[in-house]
Amino acid sequence: MKFAILVNEGPFNHQASDSAYQFVKAALAKGHQIFRVFFYYDGVYNASKLSEPPTDDRNVVANWGKLAEEHKLDLVVCVAAALRRGIKDENLAPGFRISGLGQLIEAGIQADRLVTFGD
């Protein structure tokens, strides 16, 4: 099965990002495809290289980047939501790219299922 993932919450104030990350890992381990992971609303904070969690805490941003590198995932950040929150190309974490809502629409069309995490 081919999944598209929508993440609407930030990495440190809600479980949605961790749940999405674990879902993607499990789906890949079972042989499913991930067409795209789209970060929208506060979910764009998952792409900020400016976050510095304590060393004894999980680094959700780095985890997404590593997963994208290992599995050639397309991690797309909504440009409008990112700009509203001060996230631009220069402070984007490795593995992420900024684009428009058309990428979410395409993901929904191309994938068998669109799974949403967060409100």
Catalytic residues: 78
Cα–Cα dist 50/69, whole Å: 19
Nearest to 74 by CA among 46, 47, 42, 97: 97
Contact by Cβ (8 Å): 59, 53? yes
Nearest to 118, CA basis, from 11, 26, 22: 11
Chain centre to alpha carbon of residue 66: 12
